[in-house]
Amino acid sequence: MAKKINDFIYYVGVLNPNSRISDVIVKTDFGTSYNSFLIKDKKIALVETCHSDFFEDYLENIKEICDLDSIDYIILNHTEPDHSGALKKIIKLASNAKIICSKAGAIYLKNILNQDLDFIIAQNDFELDLGKNKIKFISAPFLHWPDSMFSLLENKNFKALFSCDFLGCHFCEPGIFDFKIKFLSDYDLMLENYFKNIFGSFKKYVLLGLEKINGIDLDFIFTSHGPVLTKNNLLGSVIEKYKIWASEKKDTKNKYVAIFYCSAYGNTFELAKKIKTGILERNKNLDVKLFNIIEHDLNFLRNELNKSDAFLIGSPTINRDAVAPVWNLLTGIDAINNKNKNVAVFGSFGWSGEATDFIFNRLKDLKLKVFEDKLKINFVPSGKDLESAKTFGFEFAKSFV
Ligand SMILES: Cc1cc2nc3c(=O)[nH]c(=O)nc-3n(C[C@H](O)[C@H](O)[C@H](O)COP(=O)(O)O)c2cc1C
Ligand SMILES: [Fe+2]
Ligand SMILES: [Fe+2]
């Protein structure tokens, strides 16, 4: 059902309370929504579309407010299919509508829709006059794709930002407004989860995005997932939270080295302990922590890995491979922000010893700075092997401190 927001703006998005995962990796424990808005003025603009699975409901919502062929513009602030999925069908019906997107957005849309379209490319500061409302487009790349932009609506009585994923949240309650949220602590949880998963790799761009809207006296922020943010409710606090999360600085006094390992019979664990000793011999001020991977929550470990200044991975070889918990951890590496991070690999093996090579190659493929020596010890480490482990730790630490 469409919902009137004010004299000009209507909510025509779709709620998906049953969603439990988005983009393969982002948990949506409380569902999500695909928000889309109609701005009805002398000219009519549709902002974002929705996921293709919900096209029928979406279409009904739009039809409640206007005829499809009366839509003049379809604004896509970002072209990911949760926003562009219904576009192919919509443009068949909204035959008079021109699509407005960024330059990158136009390139992506051509390959998403596999058809040539006449786009209006919104350069930074490009303005669109709808009648009583004006929309100014603000380039905001990497929030979270290179195509993303904001649309700022200026009316003599209010200002509203259409920010797409930025400041959004996978959360679904029927009230659609922030002041109607019933389970606020769940919203808070999902807001942070969303930030970490979608914007955690793009903190620099988050701060730039915030700068671009700094000082604008906004009455609404219309994100494309989760509740509408309003001036007297959560709008300011969500911006503030993004500022804090994107600005988190590491303790630069002591570098943090994390050692992650798995060990069936304690052999790889013995190596891990000696490596730690070696690292601390090189510099006793380093903060070195050991983590037995199977004893911790994976998200916690991924967080430690991503915030470390350097890390090591240890795995025994079991059935000619590194063990599954190690791979699980390795799939969660933020390859963007960990590029060139110092890493090293070690492990105990029995006969074939593939684990260390496989991990080594994976880390190289992700473009981390992999310490060229691998510590590969046969079965139970001898006194001499333990000395080698200490030296390995020392030399590894020497490569960056
Ligand atoms: C079920 C099982 C399968 C194994 N498969 C291999 C293998 O394919 N290649 C190899 O080099 N070692 C293999 N090993 C030997 C282990 O890598 C070796 O015992 C190692 O020292 C274990 O180290 P950990 O105590 O740190 O787990 C296997 C061991 C077990 C228990
Ligand atoms: Fe997105
Ligand atoms: Fe999205």
Å from CA of 22 to ligand 3 middle: 9
pLDDT band at 24 (very low <50, low <70, confident <90, very high): confident
Which residues have C-beta within 8 Å of that of residue 388, sequence separation ≥ 6?
375, 377
Candidate from 317, 351, 354, 359 with most ligand 1 atoms within 8 A of CB, to mutate: 317
Convert the pLDDT of each residue in 129-181 to its tens digit: 999 999 999 999 999 999 999 999 999 999 999 999 999 999 999 999 999 99
378 lines ligand 1 (CB under 6 A): no
pLDDT digits (tens, 9 = 90+) for 169-213: 999 999 999 999 999 999 999 999 999 999 999 999 999 999 999
What's the gap in Å between 80 CA and the centre of ligand 3?
7
Give the end-to-end CA distance of the chain in Å, rounded to a whole number.
60
Q: Look at the block and give the residue holding tokens 């890995």.
A: 305
DSSP states along 319-331: TTB--HHHHHHHT
The hierarchical CATH code for the domain 256-398 is 3.40.50.360
Q: Is 294 in the pocket of ligand 1 (CB under 6 A)?
A: no
Pocket test residue of 265, 271, 318 for ligand 1, highest count of atoms within 8 A of CB: 318
Neighbours of 169 (CB within 10 A): 28
Render pLDDT for 214-245 as a digit per residue (tens, 0 to 9): 999 999 999 999 999 999 999 999 999 999 99
Q: Is the dihedral of CA 57, 60, 62, 64 positive or negative?
A: negative
Q: Which of 18-32, 48-62, 80-94, 351-365 has the lowest average pLDDT?
A: 18-32
266 within ligand 1 shell (Cβ under 6 A): yes
- Checking if the pLDDT of 250 tops 90, the result is no
Q: Which atom of ligand 1 is nearest to the CA of 268?
A: 26
CA–CA distance, 294 with 283 (Å, rounded to integer): 28
Please name which ligand lies nearest the alpha carbon of 320. 1
What are the structural domain ranges in the chain? 3-247, 256-398
Atom of ligand 1 nearest to the CA of 323: 27
CATH class name, domain 3-247: alpha beta
Token digits of residue 238: 């969500």
CA distance 46 to 72: 8
The CB of 300 under 6 Å from ligand 1? The reply is: no
Residue 336's φ and ψ, nearest 5 degrees, are -75, -50
| Number of the ligand 1 atom closest to the C-alpha atom of 266 | 25
Round the average pLDDT of the chain to a whole number and report it: 96
270 CA: nearest ligand 1 atom: 26
Q: Cite the DSSP H helix spans in 183-334.
A: 184-194, 203-213, 235-247, 267-282, 298-307, 324-330
Residue nearest to atom 20 of ligand 1 (CA): 349
Given this model, what pLDDT does residue 248 score? 76
Q: For residue range 295-351, list pLDDT tens digits in order.
A: 999 989 999 999 999 999 999 999 999 999 999 999 989 999 999 999 999 999 999
Q: State the number of CA atoms in the 13 A half-sphere of 94 facing the CB.
A: 26
User: Which of 356, 362, 370, 369 shows the shortest CA–CA distance to 268?
Assistant: 356
Residue 219 Cα to ligand 2 midpoint, Å, equals 23
Return the closest-CA partner of residue 137 out of 121, 124, 156: 124
Q: How far is the CA of 34 from the centre of ligand 3 (A)?
A: 8
DSSP-assigned beta bridge partners for residue 314: 261, 346
| CA 117 / ligand 1 centre spacing (Å) | 58
Mutation pick for ligand 1 pocket among 319, 326, 375 (CB with most ligand atoms within 8 Å) = 319
Distance CA 386, CA 278 (A): 10
**Tokens 């279409």 sit on residue:** 59
Cα-Cα-Cα-Cα dihedral of 103, 106, 108, 114, to 10°? -160
Contacts (Cβ under 8 Å, ≥6 apart) of 109: 76, 79, 84, 87, 99, 101, 117, 119
In the predicted structure, residue 253 carries a pLDDT above the cut 90? no
Residue 252's pLDDT is what? 63
Ligand 1 nearest atom to the CA of residue 378, by list position: 21
Could you read off the pLDDT of 349-365 as tens digits, one per residue? 999 999 999 999 999 99
